[in-house]
């Protein structure tokens, strides 16, 4: 096998030496356009997991690297002159130049040909004379660009500028420091990468300084050269640098770019490392991912019967891992982009928020690493001793919620003529008994034309009102501290469809009713019915339907009312520019698109009892080009808050069928986080929140006030009570109904859990 590697970074070098080590008969050549000792950046962080893979694959390389690494356990967070330390994290780093030297030496020892100072031939040319071409040519990969039609890359440029510098002394921890200046907030990420040596008597540390683009401009960095930037940055972070100078290495301010490729291979050409993917430096090292790519690629080439199978196996193995890492990296990157929104948090909450920003470190995980730090954070937040954050109460107007868990609205499609029956009594009653502070109904429709399907619940008749009164009475009698909320809405252009399990969003085969919407745009062109555009009389009539239903909800005994302005239903349709093309006072600018939803909100708030809270569910992004943006969401949330909304229920998407959501664990929570910490209004976070650990983390970090969970409550109606039992909590935040108290401990599973008998000395 003849192998050509384009790019002599750590990933390309490591792939070369592994392929050669596994089969010495292979002819392996690395093409690097720079000199052997040219390197940009300073330190490289590798996880214990990655080092374990290196040790298993090549003990010689591992032993050499291990002898030159610096290790530490602490993370320091400096906020407004105060340093808080969290321990138990475990890091290992070394000089990037040292890493390259070790890999160069090992490649030469194994017989890999290293070609420096000459650009590699194009990948397509190499592919004609080699069996395998590995494109490890970095984030600006020429190979990826040349074959973009196959790899189908997307590159997103983010909102911060950063510069990579170094200090000639070794820190004793990973260090984050925040500088609040007259121009805005800047942040420092720093860590040691070399201990004392003859060449560097005090060791060395990597120092990355980052700022939002507008802050970078305002601070004048756009007009500074490398030296001036380094001098100015050193002055901004006295707690970390203590007067030490900073130096660069062809260091330039740049914006981070996230690279994603749909495919990583094309014939016998394969992408590796930054050419295939990038992940923000704030969660670790691109080098780590590249080295892991190299390990996987070499293993797949060895294990599979042919190259096509090997490259397919490599992609199948690495793509899910990288996607998960990129989701965490995006969450971390976004947190730093929104850093100024967290600056007012108290010190421990700020530090906890920073440590858990990627969602990979959680409340429970951090408690295992550093229980004293978590205890101090909980004490600062006023959490009673022995009480998980999720079981602290929250007050909205005159309603006190006993904990922070909400049963999210879930359409059941089990009503008949809009009347909820025994199914709703059991479904909602069981979940209210299951410990959640607030159980929400599905979207309850304000009129027959406002239904999504024939099975949707309504609140426009006396019979429906009586049926809901029965449900509310059961909840209040059997679980007195539980609250029941009603979500009120109108389907708009997404109505008159089959039940979900018969064909979601498919029109009814017969018996369709006419639809209403802001604009005459079908939800699925060529499939869905074209709705009628609401005129003045229609707008007034629908508004009155909302207020009439709200009056009925109050009489039925609901504790909270939520106005559904999300997911492409009628009021959401006014908010999104993709669904509102009106040219009158209700279309055009965001202020105009907000006008009708706010009119409905005001009318409903007027008739809803003053002491009872009212929330609004919004879609904070349409996940589609030209739709609602994060900035729009802030303005929408602010408008509803100014009109009296007690909390914003922050969801995303479902507005247009061509959306492309970025699915993943807790993927919608950053939108709630941003609204809460920018506007200072309470929020309900939703979106693949599946564990009590997630709820504890979000609440303690101040990213959400309440967490709404849907599927976990379908899987387990007593999810909240079980979460309390698993955490050893038995306080007022999770009272077990008296008939269920005997089940408040998890029953033993069987003999396998018992201690094993001792059979030998």
Non-local (6+) Cβ contacts of 627 within 8 A are: 576, 577, 578, 621, 655, 656
DSSP state string for 140-156: T-HHHHHTHHHH-EEEE
The reply to whether 342 belongs to the active site is no
Q: Half-sphere exposure of 246 toward its Cβ, with a 13 Å CA cutoff?
A: 31
Neighbours of 681 (CB within 10 A): 18
Please give the DSSP secondary-structure letter assigned to residue 221. Answer: G
Quick one: how far is CA 111 from the chain centroid? Answer: 44
- Integer CA distances (angstroms), 566 to 86, 439, 553, 628, 659, in order: 40, 19, 20, 11, 14
Is there a contact between 383 and 376 (Cβ–Cβ < 8 Å)?
Answer: no
Place of tokens 């959401």: 572
DSSP state string for 407-425: E--------BTTB--HHHH
DSSP state string for 250-297: S---EEEEEEEES-SEETTEEE-GGGTB---GGGS-HHHHHHHHHHHH
Instruction: Determine which helix (DSSP H) or strand (DSSP E) holds 206, and give its type and residue range.
Output: strand 204-212
The two three-digit tokens of residue 329, written as one number: 């990296």
Kindly report the backbone phi and psi dihedral angles of residue 504, in degrees, each rounded to the nearest multiple of 5, phi listed first. -60, 130
10 Å CB burial of residue 164 (0-12, 13-18, 19+) is buried
Kindly report the backbone phi and psi dihedral angles of residue 179, in degrees, each rounded to the nearest multiple of 5, phi listed first. -115, 115
- Smallest Cα–Cα separation from 102: which of 44, 186, 169, 170? 44
- Integer CA distances (angstroms), 405 to 26, 287, 358, 389, 686, in order: 59, 40, 22, 11, 11
Secondary structure of 518-542 in the HEC alphabet? CCCCCCCCCCCCCCEECCHHHHHHH
Cα–Cα distance for residue pair 697/268, rounded to 1 Å? 45
Cα–Cα distance for residue pair 676/653, rounded to 1 Å? 19
Instruction: Determine which helix (DSSP H) or strand (DSSP E) holds 319, and give its type and residue range.
Output: helix 307-337
Cα–Cα distance for residue pair 74/53, rounded to 1 Å? 24
Cα–Cα distance for residue pair 761/753, rounded to 1 Å? 22
- Integer CA distances (angstroms), 620 to 48, 327, 334, 353, 552, in order: 38, 18, 15, 22, 29
- Smallest Cα–Cα separation from 464: which of 419, 416, 413? 419
Is there a contact between 696 and 707 (Cβ–Cβ < 8 Å)?
Answer: no
Longest dimension (CA), the chain: 88
Helical ranges in 356-421 per DSSP H: 363-369, 371-380
Residue in 193, 342, 413, 569 annotated catalytic: 569
Is there a contact between 119 and 33 (Cβ–Cβ < 8 Å)?
Answer: yes
DSSP state string for 581-598: ---STTSSSHHHHHHHHH
Cα–Cα distance for residue pair 47/285, rounded to 1 Å? 9
Cα–Cα distance for residue pair 593/620, rounded to 1 Å? 15
Cα–Cα distance for residue pair 598/580, rounded to 1 Å? 15
CA-based R_g, the chain, Å: 29
> Inter-axis angle of helices 307-337 and 669-679, to 10 degrees?
10
Catalytic sites, residue numbers: 569
């Amino acid at each position: 096998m003849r192998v050509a590697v384009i790019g002599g970074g750590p990933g390309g070098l490591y792939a070369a030496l592994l392929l050669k080590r596994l089969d010495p008969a292979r002819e392996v050549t690395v093409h690097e356009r720079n000199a052997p000792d040219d390197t940009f950046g300073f330190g490289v962080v590798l996880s214990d997991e990655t080092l374990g893979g290196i040790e298993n694959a090549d003990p010689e390389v591992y032993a050499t690297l291990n002898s030159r690494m610096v290790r530490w356990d602490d993370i320091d967070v400096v906020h407004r002159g105060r340093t808080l330390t969290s321990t138990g994290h475990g890091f290992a780093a070394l000089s990037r130049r040292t890493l390259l030297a070790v890999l160069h030496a090992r490649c030469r020892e194994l017989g890999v040909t290293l070609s420096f100072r000459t650009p590699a031939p194009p990948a397509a040319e190499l592919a004609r004379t080699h069996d395998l071409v590995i494109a490890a040519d970095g984030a600006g990969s020429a190979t990826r660009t040349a074959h973009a039609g196959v790899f189908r890359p997307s590159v997103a440029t983010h909102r911060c500028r950063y510069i990579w510098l170094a200090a000639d002394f070794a820190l004793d921890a990973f260090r984050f420091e925040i500088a609040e200046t007259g121009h805005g907030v800047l942040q420092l990420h720093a860590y040691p990468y070399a201990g004392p040596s003859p060449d560097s008597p005090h060791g060395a540390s990597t120092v990355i300084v980052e700022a939002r683009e507008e802050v970078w401009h305002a601070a004048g960095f756009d007009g500074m050269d490398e030296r001036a930037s380094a001098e100015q940055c050193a002055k901004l972070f006295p707690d970390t640098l203590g007067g030490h100078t900073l130096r660069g290495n062809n260091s330039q301010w740049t914006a981070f770019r996230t690279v994603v490729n749909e495919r990583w291979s094309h014939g016998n050409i394969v992408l590796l490392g930054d050419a295939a993917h990038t992940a923000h430096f704030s969660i670790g090292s691109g080098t780590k991912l590249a080295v892991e790519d190299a390990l996987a690629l070499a293993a797949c080439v060895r294990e599979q019967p042919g190259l096509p199978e090997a490259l397919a196996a490599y992609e199948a193995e690495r793509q899910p891992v990288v996607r998960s890492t990129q989701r965490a990296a995006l969450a971390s990157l976004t947190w730093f982009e929104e850093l100024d929104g967290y600056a007012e948090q108290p010190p421990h909450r700020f530090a906890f928020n920073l440590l858990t920003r990627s969602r990979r470190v959680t409340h429970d995980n951090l408690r295992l690493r550093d229980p004293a730090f978590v205890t101090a954070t909980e004490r600062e937040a006023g959490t009673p001793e022995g009480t998980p954050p999720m079981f602290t109460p929250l007050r909205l107007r005159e309603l006190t919620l006993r904990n922070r868990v909400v049963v999210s609205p879930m359409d059941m499609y089990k009503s008949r003529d809009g009347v909820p029956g025994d199914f709703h009594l059991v479904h909602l009653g069981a979940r209210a008994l299951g410990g959640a502070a607030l159980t929400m109904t599905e979207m309850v429709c304000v009129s027959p034309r406002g239904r999504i399907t024939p099975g949707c619940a309504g609140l426009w008749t006396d019979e429906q009102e009586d049926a809901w009164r029965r449900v509310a009475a059961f909840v209040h009698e059997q679980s007195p501290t539980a609250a029941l909320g009603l979500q009120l809405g109108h389907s708009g252009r997404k109505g008159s469809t089959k039940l979900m399990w018969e064909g979601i969003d498919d029109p009814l085969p017969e018996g369709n009713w006419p639809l209403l919407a802001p604009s005459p745009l079908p939800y699925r062109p060529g499939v869905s019915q074209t709705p009628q555009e609401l005129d003045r009389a229609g707008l007034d009539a629908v508004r009155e339907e909302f207020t009439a239903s709200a009056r009925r909800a109050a009489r039925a005994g609901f504790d909270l009312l939520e106005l559904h302005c999300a997911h492409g239903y009628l009021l959401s349709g006014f908010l999104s520019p993709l669904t509102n093309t009106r040219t009158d006072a209700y279309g055009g600018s965001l202020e105009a698109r907000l006008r009708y939803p706010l009119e409905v909100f005001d009318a409903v708030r007027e008739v809803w009892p003053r002491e009872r809270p009212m929330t609004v569910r919004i879609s904070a992004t349409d996940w589609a080009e030209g739709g609602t943006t994060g900035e729009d969401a802030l303005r929408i949330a602010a408008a509803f808050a100014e009109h009296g909304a007690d909390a914003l229920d922050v969801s995303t998407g479902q507005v247009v069928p061509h959306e492309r959501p970025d699915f993943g664990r807790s993927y919608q929570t950053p939108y709630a986080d941003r609204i809460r910490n920018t506007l200072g209004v309470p929020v309900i976070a939703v979106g693949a929140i599946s564990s009590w650990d997630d709820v504890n983390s979000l609440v303690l970090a101040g990213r959400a006030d309440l967490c709404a969970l849907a599927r976990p409550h379908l899987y387990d109606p007593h999810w909240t009570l079980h979460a309390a039992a698993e955490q050893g909590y038995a306080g007022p935040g999770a009272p077990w109904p008296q008939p269920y108290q005997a089940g408040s401990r998890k029953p033993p599973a069987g003999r396998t859990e018992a201690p094993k008998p001792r059979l030998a000395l």
